[in-house]
Amino acid sequence: MQQKLLQHRLANGLVILGERMPWLESAAFTMMLPGGTCREPAGREGLAGLTLELSQRGAGALSSREIVERLDFLGVERSSHVSSFHTTMSMASMASVLEPTLEVAASILQSPHFPESELEEARQSALLELASIDDDPAQKCFKELKQLRFGDVFGRSALGSLEGLESVELDECVRFHADFCRPGGAVLALAGNFDWDRLLSAIESLFGAWSGSPSPEPGPVVSKPGVSHLQHDSQQTHIALAYDSVPYCDPEYYRGRGIVSILSDGMSSRLFTEVREKRGLVYAVSASSHSLKNCGSVLCYAGTTSNRAQETLEVTVDTIRAVSQGIDPDELSRLKSRVQTSLVMEQESSAARSSQIAYDWMTLGRVPSRQEVLQEIHALTCESLVQHFHSHPPRGWTLVTIGPEALEFSHAVSP
């Protein structure tokens, strides 16, 4: 199916991107704004998330309850979250109600009430969410890993901190919203079954009067190696491990991502085969590519009962390092099949597509087509992957474990 990216920029700077998927009954949009946790002042960790939550508790002509009822009436599936660099709001619905759905989003983004009466309730919700992560050691392990690896500013959790959440005041939410919820530097990505011209005129009338220029770019991210252990009375030791790699914006990204795919995607991947299938050490083991602007990492996870945790860590690291000894042509061919299939299946979901378009635009400043991604993947060879591995060997290791005992780890300092 021919793929075409539709583009428009409103006078206020808001970038509108669209991809028509006329074979679907649905339509979806993703609004991405540059208000991430890295913009929070020190001591106010959690401000970005709390601001996003509060902005949805009454906006425009609608009260908090009316917003929820309106979206339920329209049958809208929605989600919103903050990350290190962005605030994201996504909604998906039947194509026939796309415009009224956008109307609700436009109110939330442009005219939130920030009612004093809702602050304490929103704060309590955020505190509960933060506390609940303590009962999910795997998730907590990653939260700690990011904190250790990316530091106080870029390693902040979207959940915030206890002290930060308790300190946030209402006017700080209002200011955060005013500073970062602006059309300049934001993107609205739409995908699904719609008429582009008609949609644009609706968007123009909903978002045209919004104003605000882009905020200055945050500084570069630097990753730090390190090792940390959190004592926990658990059955398993949870291992979160990270090492340096290339970010999404790097010309060599697909090589780095290809290696991660060989390590972790699918049941024939190396980590699954070596750690789980051959040795039965774990139920869950994985690696994934992670990008924070200019900073690329590979993040790995393994969970295993404590007496086998040291062995699990060693087999995991050895398996990663063994990439230097070569890649089998069959492994590469499986990687190519997987990517091809997932690109075809991406056409089955307007929500997935709109979120990919928004992410690409914010991260790369452009949106690669399926054809372009396929060409990148087809261009990969076993030699180019191994060569990439040699020129970007795993180093800058960060390790966080949660469990009854700390593990020995000699890679932290040596490259």
Partner 1 sequence: MQFRHEILDNGLEIVAEINPDAFSQSLGYFVRTGSRDEVPEIAGVSHFLEHMVFKGTPTRSSLDVNRMLDDLGSQSNAYTSEEQTVYYMSVLPEHQLSALDLLTDLMRPTLRREDFDTEKQVILEEIAMYDDQPPYGAMERAMEEYFGDHPLATRVLGTRQTVSDLTAEAMRAYHEQRYAPNNLCLVAAGAVDFDALVKETAVRTRLWTSVQTHRKRQPPVLRSSSVELVHPPATQQYTLEFSPGPGIQDPQRYVNRILASILGDDSGSRLFWELTDKGLADLAVTYTSEFEDCGIFGIYLACAPEQQNENWERIQFVLADAKANPITERELELAKNKVRSGMILASERPSNRLFSVGNGWLTRRKYESVREATENYQRVSLEQVQSAFEQLAQRPRVRVSVGPESGNTH
Side-by-side strand order, sheet with 295-305? 226-231, 398-403, 236-245, 295-305, 284-292
CA geometry: angle at 185 spanning 180 and 190, to 5°? Answer: 105
Q: Which one of residues 2, 72, 171, 410 is an interface residue with partner 1 (CB under 8 A)?
A: 72
Cα 255 to Cα 249: distance, rounded to the nearest angstrom? 12
Q: Which residues contact 305 (CB under 8 A, 6 or more apart)?
A: 235, 236, 237
Backbone angles phi, psi at 57, to 5 degrees: -100, 60
- One of 213, 268, 387, 391 touching partner 1 (CB under 8 A): 268
Task: Tell me: does residue 375 bind partner 1 (CB under 8 A).
Answer: no
**Closer residue to partner 1 (CB): 15 or 105:** 105
Contact between 307 and partner 1 by CB under 8 A: the answer reads no
Determine contact, residues 370/357, Cβ cutoff 8 Å.
no
Decide: is 404 part of the binding site for partner 1 (CB under 8 A). no
| Cβ neighbours of residue 261 closer than 8 Å, sequence gap 6 or more | 269, 335, 338, 339
61 part of the interface to partner 1, by CB under 8 A: no
Q: What is the DSSP letter of 215?
A: P
Question: Contacts with partner 1 in 93-112 (CB under 8 A)?
Answer: 93-94
Binder among 305, 363, 369, 381 for partner 1 (CB under 8 A):
305
Question: CA quadruple 271, 272, 273, 279: dihedral positive or negative?
Answer: positive
DSSP 3-state assignment of 200? helix
How many residues make contact with partner 1 (CB under 8 A)?
A: 75
Asked if 62 interacts with partner 1 (CB under 8 A), we say no
Nearer to partner 1, 337 or 387 (CB): 337
Kindly tell me which residue out of 123, 143, 290, 411 binds partner 1, with binding defined by CB under 8 A.
Answer: 123
CB-nearer residue toward partner 1: 131 or 364: 131
Residues from 322 through 361 that contact partner 1 (CB under 8 A): 330, 333-334, 337-342, 344-345, 347-351
Decide if residue 266 touches partner 1 (CB under 8 A): yes
Q: Does 77 bind partner 1 (CB under 8 A)?
A: yes
**Scanning residues 140 to 199, which ones bind partner 1 (CB under 8 A)?**
none
For the bound state, the minimum distance from the C-beta of residue 185 to partner 1, rounded and expressed in Å, comes to 29
Q: How far is the CB of 79 from partner 1 (least distance, A)?
A: 11
Is residue 117 a contact residue for partner 1 (CB under 8 A)? no
* 391 vs 224: CA distance, rounded Å: 19
243 vs 300: CA distance, rounded Å: 9
Q: Do residues 100 and 91 touch, judged by C-beta distance below 8 A? A: no
- Is the CB of 264 or the CB of 297 nearer to partner 1? 264
| Site stretch for partner 1 (CB under 8 A), options 69-77, 166-174, 198-206, 387-395 | 69-77
